[in-house]
Structures are given as C-alpha cells and as structure tokens.
Amino acid sequence: MPTLSKKRKAAMAKFDSTKSYNLAEATSIVKQVSTTKFDATVDIAVRLGVDPKKSTEMVRGTVSLPHGTGRTVKVLVLADPAKCEEAMAAGADMAGLDEYVEKIKGGWTNVDVIICTPAVMAKVGALGRVLGPRGLMPKPKDRYRYHGRGQGRERGEGR
C-alpha cells in the first residue's frame, strides 16, 4: 500500500469513512478537507433504487442550479430606439441597432445572446456570416426575437 502524504492524513482524520453524512454535513467536510487553491469539482453518487434495465425506471434529466453557474450573460437587443429603451428597462446589457450592426460587421462579438425585433431582422440577416458560426444569430424557433413587454433579460438567460 502506498504511503499517505501529510495533507491526505490530515484530511482522512477529519471524517469517519464508515459513517453516512447528510448533505449539509458532507458539504462542510468537503470544504474543510479541500487543499486546492481553486474551486474543485465534487462528484456525488446517489443510490436511487431503480432498475436501469427497465425503460419505465430510467432516470434522465437536467438540473438548474439555484444560483446559476456564476457566469453573467451579456444580452444585446437589436431594435429601434423606442424598443431599445424598453429593453434596457427590462434588463438588457446593451441595446441599439445601427451602431451595433456596424460593430458586428467589423468582427465584434463580445456578447453571449443577441435578441432582435422582427422589424429589424432584415438588417440582422446580413450579419449571418459573422454571427452564425458563433451561434449568436437570433432564431425565432429559439425564441430570440424581442416583441417587447419586458422580456429582454429572461429570454436571454435561458440559453
């Protein structure tokens, strides 16, 4: 058996490997035991008591974290001036039309989500070569068209 390092011995002394801990206790122990200088990843094994061979008992899905992933999303709304004011009030980070169209034609893509009104889709369509490969092109199928009514921030952050 290989020898244990000092940090590993100190970590092993902080918990009992034969005891089962609830989630709150386990998270506090993981935080105490961690010796890394960065945010480490934690793997959790959960026994659900289902048979994966039966199709009715398959467990699949996604989890939305209560506080997000910690990453802020930059939302750009391309619209006429009246809708831009409304979008900024709804929480968009940037809003405008002609100045952003020119910046994007020049290669600027420092945003995460672009939302546009159907009226300006003709101008935005010309940006397809720049926005398409980066996955930023607004698509009506993905609900990235802005119709007003304060939907700027919530539509952009669902991506």
Q: Are residues 48 and 113 in the same domain?
A: no
Which range marks the domain in which residue 114 is found?
75-157
Q: Are residues 86 and 44 in the same domain?
A: no
| Assessment of whether the complete model's pTM goes beyond 0.85 | no
Indicate whether 63 belongs to any domain.
Answer: no
Rounded CA separation 135/74 (Å)? 14
Residue 69 has pLDDT above 80, yes or no: no
Indicate the DSSP class of residue 134.
T
Q: 15: which residues sit within 8 A by CB, 6+ positions away?
A: 21, 29, 33
Q: Are residues 46 and 100 in the same domain?
A: no
CB burial of 112-145 (b: ≥16 within 10 Å; e: otherwise) equals bbbbbbeebeeebeebeebbeeeebbbeeeeebb
Report percent pLDDT > 90 for the chain.
5
Q: What is the pLDDT of residues 92-123, one digit of tens each?
A: 888 888 899 899 888 888 888 888 888 888 88
Of 33-37, 49-53, 68-72, 98-102, the poorest mean pLDDT is in: 68-72
> Is the Cβ–Cβ distance between 146 and 117 less than 8 Å?
yes
Q: Are residues 30 and 92 in the same domain?
A: no
In the chain, the largest separation of any two C-alpha atoms, in whole Å, equals 71
